[in-house]
């Protein structure tokens, strides 16, 4: 019985390690934590210097770029009231990995209280730090018109 428990734990630990070594899994974990408003997990998935950039068009059609520090983003996620329903539905994952760097691109549609709010694409730039992937940079595009 002891051997069975040991091997079960070993297999479980190897499975967890394999997941942390997969850039796509890191992004999946990010969105799970995002939807659960798990700020501790969100913090653990990123580098300390992470900033988020959003590209959108203003009411006059001019491109705007906004920057948010990751601690502010996490604070904003934590402040969403629990009764508010939000979902960033990921449509696909495109992963490009090259040694210590990876890029994961995810087109999405964002729903707020069951209504389509906007859509766009996320671009996650990851770095392998001490054997684990961390989010180094995150950029997204946002559009209300091109969500078909």
Q: Is residue 7 part of a domain?
A: no
94 occurs within a structural domain? yes
Alpha carbons 65 and 42: distance in angstroms, whole number: 23
Q: Where are the beta strands (DSSP E) in the chain?
A: 51-57, 63-69, 86-90, 94-98, 101-112, 115-129, 132-142
* pLDDT exceeds cutoff 80 at 17: no
Q: Indicate whether 148 belongs to any domain.
A: no
Overall domain count for the chain: 1
For 12, the enclosing helix (H) or strand (E) is: helix 2-20
- pLDDT digits 0-9 by tens, 37-66: 999 999 999 999 999 999 999 889 899 999
Quote the domain boundaries for residue 64: 23-142
Residue 6 lies inside a defined structural domain of this protein: no
Confidence band, pLDDT 50/70/90 cuts, at residue 27: very high
Whether residue 146 has pLDDT greater than 50 = yes
| Residue 17 maps to a domain | no
Tens-digit pLDDT profile for residues 66-119: 999 999 999 999 999 988 999 999 999 999 999 999 999 999 999 999 999 999
Q: Is residue 125 part of a domain?
A: yes
Residue 64 belongs to some domain of the structure: yes
pLDDT grade for 148, boundaries at 50, 70 and 90: low
Query: pLDDT per residue over 113-137, tens digit each?
Result: 999 999 999 999 999 999 999 999 9
Q: What is the CATH number of the domain that holds 115?
A: 3.10.450.50
What's the CA gap between 97 and 128, in Å, rounded?
Answer: 10
Domain membership of residue 10 (yes or no) is no
């Amino acid at each position: 019985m002891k051997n069975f428990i040991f091997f079960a734990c070993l297999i479980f630990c190897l499975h967890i390690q394999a997941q942390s070594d997969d850039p796509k899994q890191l992004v999946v974990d990010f969105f799970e934590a995002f939807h659960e408003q798990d700020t501790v997990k969100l913090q653990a998935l990123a580098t300390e210097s992470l900033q988020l950039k959003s590209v959108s068009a203003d009411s006059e059609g001019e491109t705007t770029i906004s920057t948010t520090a990751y601690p502010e983003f996490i604070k904003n996620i934590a402040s969403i009231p629990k009764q508010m329903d939000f979902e960033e539905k990921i449509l696909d994952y495109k992963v490009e990995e090259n040694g210590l760097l990876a890029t994961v691109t995810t087109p999405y549609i964002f729903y707020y209280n069951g209504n389509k709010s906007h859509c766009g694409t996320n671009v996650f730039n990851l770095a392998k730090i001490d054997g684990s992937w961390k989010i180094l940079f995150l950029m997204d595009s946002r559009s209300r018109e091109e969500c078909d």
